[in-house]
Amino acid sequence: MKPLYDITPFTLLDYPDLPAAIFWFAGCNLRCSYCYNPEIVLGRGKIGEDDALAFLATRIGLLEGVVLSGGECTLYPRLLPFCRAIKEMGFKLKIDTNAMRPDVLKALADEHLIDTVALDYKTTQEHWDELCAGGEEALFWDSFEHLQQSGIAFEVRTTVHTGLIDEATLIQMGRKLESAGYKGVYALQSFATGCETLKPIAAENHSVCIERLQLHVKLPIIHRSL
Ligand code: SF4
């Protein structure tokens, strides 16, 4: 099985403060309507583990981090041995995940295979089916708890299309994170206007107002561009 759809050989944007490569895993278990990577989510892997590790061998001393993104990397059945091999080469490892495989995250954390995580918080259960074709909010909270207990640095992030998630829901989500003891920043990512999406969705007719959200949520909320 070839897990990777593609490799971005160099980025300064995706791993906090480190030069890194991005491994894009093919396939995803959520199928969010606003997903702007339909070719990765629906596509087949083209690059195998051996080729990915051979690539990294040529980057020792040049890159410091590897980001596992997608698609959804936690679906890959050999993720743990793959991560072990990457760590043995001396790279720091970041996982971008939709949070729907808490047991995989726990296994990675228990073995200290991951250094940082970007954890998607899609929406509340009340609105889940309007956005995602799979999963549920409870799985996000299981993943969140595992990471809180592990001590691993992680950031919770939500992609915002204002036609699909409203400010009242974002306030509710921010308050839930506060109540759960989250100490990081809550990152809101704008919907990527102009990209092809997994399902046809209407254009946004307004943007989210972070100042207004912060009137209701004490947790620091930041805007992050995609
Ligand atoms: S937005 Fe992320 S979680 Fe949703 S379908 Fe796309 S890759 Fe999967």
* Section 140-167 average pLDDT: 96
Strands (E), the chain: 4-11, 20-25, 65-70, 92-97, 116-120, 153-160, 186-190, 221-224
pLDDT of residue 118: 98
- Pick the atom of ligand 1 nearest to 70's CA: 7
Taking the centre of ligand 1 as the mean of its atom positions, its distance from the CA of residue 73, in whole angstroms, is 11
Q: How far apart are the first and last CA of the chain?
A: 30
Specify the ligand 1 atom closest to the Cα of 31.
5
Q: Whose CA is nearest to atom 1 of ligand 1?
A: 35
Residue 187's SS3 state is strand
Distance between CA atoms of residues 45 and 6, nearest Å: 8
> Any residues with Cβ below 6 Å from ligand 1, and which?
28, 30-32, 35, 37, 41, 70-72, 98
The percentage of residues in the chain with a pLDDT greater than 90, rounded to a whole number, is 88
Is 124:136 a contact under the CB 8 Å cutoff?
no
* Spatial contact of 187 and 156, defined as CB atoms under 8 Å apart: yes
Q: What is the mean pLDDT of residues 120-142?
A: 97
Instruction: Indicate the CATH number for domain 4-224.
Output: 3.20.20.70
Ligand 1 center to residue 98 CA distance, Å? 7
The one-letter amino acid code at 178 reads E
| 65-80 pLDDT tens trace | 999 999 999 999 999 9
The Å distance, Cα 57 to ligand 1 centre, comes to 29
Query: What is the rounded distance in angstroms from the CA atom of residue 158 to the CA atom of residue 125?
Result: 14
Domain ranges of the chain: 4-224
pTM: 0.96
Taking Cα atoms as reference points, which of 113, 39, 33, 102 lies closest to residue 70? 39
